[in-house]
Structure 1
Amino acid sequence: MEKRRRFLASAGSLAVTGGLFGPVAAATPSRAVVSVPGPGNLLYLPLPLASRIGADLAEGLELDIRFTGGGPQAIRAMLERNSDFAAAGLSALALQKLNGKPVVCIAPMTRVPAYTLLVRAGLRGKVRQMADLQGLVVGVKGHVPGGRSTSQLFAEYLLARAGLRPDQVNYVSAGQSYDSQHAALVSGAVDALVGDEPFVTRLVRQKVAFALADFHDPETTRKQMGGLFLNGMIGTREDMVAGKPALVEKLVRTIKRTLVWVDTHSADEMVEALNPGQPEERRALRDVLRLRKNIYSPDGRISDEQLRTVDRFLRATEPAIAAQGLSVRSLVDARWAGSAP
């Protein structure tokens, strides 16, 4: 802890000095364990960044980040009380709610899906549109009983728009890391996958795969999905909200502080703060953030527009949502994050 304080002090961190949200919190922070898909996933980058810029310390919090193989695994770790909070896709959280799990969304991180559908290079010329994936293998994040990953739901959504049923392609887990996704494509274990940045940029540059559909741009998302879309978010259990509201508030304020920092700092400053180890990884992250920094919520408020889009998305991919009358709004607690139109 003291070593990190010295690092942040020498870096002149705006988050720690309290320039964004007020004075620095007390010296003894609370601890929050967060299960996070990764490492290295752009969707959930605000969490490791929060530690690097001292946003957690500024709110009297010390983040303990535990990386998992995907959003469903992160939610399971939280439900099994191996963590206090989980980073995941809101749609994956909704499926857990549908299955009776006591889950709550407390803060957003992104405002678009931030997924790219990649196809392995050997299929160039054979796969030109979504319908051409019929009978092929699509890689998604791992799933757990009672819930599919948001990446699988997203693949199903795109395929349904192309006239395919979910059972007309085969889904397998392609993992959460660059190495696992690279291996799945190179080996031919998958024909396509729902990919994450900055891994997508590296895979395309290496000519391992090509992009068939991309949902990082806010305007493209509005055009294709009818509105902005809340994907990356922070969830917790209902008993955490009821029993430890101060800890929940500290985490939400940490996320909001970090998102404001992202909105007011450059891609280069973000990479410098994160300091990835490998030159290729560093270069890809810098290039992606220069183009894609607007995937993040600028203020950490929960947007009604995004919730409406997720409702439509879920009704298109999971019939039980409509049958049970589940509204995404019912699993959101915006008292700390605040709401936006």
Structure 2
Amino acid sequence: MRKTARYSALAAAGLLALSSLTACANDAAGTASSGSKGDGKGTKVKIMVGGLDKVIYLPAMLTQRLGYFDAEGLDVELLSEPAGVQAETALVSGQVQGAVGFYDHTLDLQVKGKHVESVVQFSHAPGEVEIVSTKKADDITSPKDFKGKKLGVTGLGSSTDFLTKYLAVKNGVKVSEFTPVAVGAGPTFISALQQGAIDGGMTTDPTVANILAKKAGKVLLDMRTPAGSQAALGGPYPSSSLYMQTDWVNAHKDTVQKMVNAFVKTLKWMSTHSASEIADKMPADYSQGNKVLYASAIESTLPMFTDDGVMPKNGPETVEKVLKAFNPAVQKADVDLDKTYTTEFVDKVAD
């Protein structure tokens, strides 16, 4: 397993560059990203990503940059929204054919009568970090201290919202006893933390790296590794994935297979290359000329990724347990986990 980056070793002179990295990456994520156009004759697919700049969703852009969509004869357009819940909305409304976001949305949507399934699983841990403001570090030493606090999430109804509620309930704090605040990620999250609009919150890299470098917050819970997921959630937590509407999957199996082929090839490539090599493949404006700092942000999150796209054993059960802890609709529902994901396409990927 790769070692987590040691942010304390970052040179003070690099702090400004890291701040620029996060800000620029978020600006880039707010616009559409043209996919692997090739000669324009490939099969057209639009994918909405819950934040293209987020390291947890890195396989989307990396697959494009490595040319694997082109190699499969696909014309992929990557689009971006700041939160996974917005990517979900774009999918169910038919604006896009696929969404790169957390697997837990497939369960949430099934309860709401929407049939969506993960077709390739990028991860076996959330990749999320619960950060507390440096000023509140003495007051918040565990989720038991969430009561009465304002906690940042990317968006209401997002996966960070789900996980925050679970951590609270698991530790004896009712959902009604704390206030979730939608602050997005990157500069908006950091600003909210520094200005006291939130006491803490859940976010991912490169936002985590920026906060630690600025000494604006401290890590309360680290779920960027399988071990961290086990400790906080009681099992593997499949998060980042490509999920699609089941009817569309069944009607376009050849296209879905090509998508899965490309993503699995990327996951295998990631498993045999360093964070620095991965950073080298990403858009230049993601690193702002300082790939060492960007590579540090990538390095800390790499342990969350699978190398084969396979749903981790007992992963769906962990996600269901998390959602049932606080969501009355899921508690009352008879969720059919077999319909929230498929291994059909991953099983057919050539070695």
**Aligning the two structures, in what range does the TM-score lie when normalised by the shorter sequence?**
0.7 to 0.9
**1:243-262 maps to which residues of 2 (within 5 A)?**
243-262=251-270
Give the equivalent residue in structure 2 for 1:155: 164
2:146 paired with 1:133 = yes
CA offsets per residue over residues 197-233 of structure 1, 9 Å max, x none? Answer: 1210111110121111111121232244332110111
Q: Distance in 2 between matches of 1:290 and 1:86?
A: 24
Deviation at 1:306, TM superposition (A): 1.5
- C-alpha distance in 2, partners of 1:226/1:129? 16
Tell me whether 1:174 sits opposite 2:187 in the alignment: no
Contact 1:226 1:309 in 2 (8 A): yes
* Of 218-227 and 82-91, the range deviating more from structure 2: 218-227
Q: Does 1:110 align with 2:118?
A: no
- After TM superposition, give the deviation of residue 27 of structure 1 in Å: 8.5
Computed over aligned residues only, the root mean square deviation of the Cα atoms, in angstroms, reads: 2.0
Cα distance, 1:280–1:224 mapped onto 2, change above 3 Å: farther
1:98–1:326 Cα contact (<8 Å) kept: yes
Instruction: State the alpha-carbon separation in 1 of the partners of residues 137 and 230 from structure 2.
Output: 28
2:348 pairs with 1:335: no
Do the aligned partners of 1:310 and 1:328 also contact (CA within 8 Å) in 2? no
Q: Which runs of 5+ in 2 are unaligned?
A: 1-37
Residue range with higher mean Cα deviation, 180-189 or 271-280: 271-280
In the alignment, the residues of structure 1 paired with residue 308 and residue 114 of structure 2 have an alpha-carbon distance, to the nearest angstrom, of 28
In structure 1, the partner of 2:315 is 306
The answer on whether the counterparts of 1:111 and 1:230 sit within 8 Å (CA) in structure 2 is: yes
- Counterpart CA distance in 2 for 1:313 and 1:338 is 27
Q: Pairwise mapping of residues 273-312 of structure 1 onto structure 2 (< 5 A)?
A: 273-277=281-285, 278-279=287-288, 282-312=291-321
Structure 1 counterpart of 2:271: 263
What TM-score do the two structures reach when normalised by structure 1? Answer: 0.85
Contact 1:202 1:284 in 2 (8 A): no
Q: Taking every aligned residue pair, what percent have the same amino acid on both sides?
A: 22
**1:240 maps onto 2:248 in alignment:** yes
Deviation at 1:245, TM superposition (A): 1.6
The alpha carbon displacement at 1:38 in A equals 1.2
Post-superposition Cα deviations, 1:97-129, rounded to whole Å, max 9, x if no partner, equal 111112122111111011101112221322222
Per-residue CA shift, 1:136-160, capped at 9, x if unaligned? 11111223xxxx2111110011111
Which stretch has the larger CA shift, 322-331 or 33-42?
A: 322-331
More RCO (CA 8 Å, sep 6+) = 2
Q: Identify if the C-alpha distance between structure 1 residues 213 and 223 changes in structure 2 by more than 3 Å, giving closer, same or farther.
A: closer
Residue matched to 1:65: 78
Do the aligned partners of 2:133 and 2:199 also contact (CA within 8 Å) in 1?
yes
**Tell me, what secondary structure is at the counterpart of 2:267?**
helix
Residues 1:157 and 1:303: Cα distance change in structure 2 (over 3 Å): same
Q: Please give the TM-score of this superposition, normalised by the length of structure 2.
A: 0.83
Tell me the residue number matched to 1:6: none
* Offset at residue 26 of structure 1 (A): 9.8
> Quick check: 1:200 aligned with 2:200?
no
In the TM superposition, residue 281 of structure 1 has moved relative to its aligned partner by 6.7
- Asked if the contact 1:198–1:284 (Cα under 8 Å) also holds between the matched residues in 2, the reply is no
In structure 1, C-alpha distance between the alignment counterparts of 2:166 and 2:100, rounded to whole Å: 22
Specify every segment of 5 or more residues in structure 1 that has no aligned partner in the other structure, as ranges.
Answer: 1-24
Is contact 1:26–1:60 with CA below 8 Å preserved after alignment? no
CA distance in 1 between counterparts of 2:115 and 2:314 reads 24
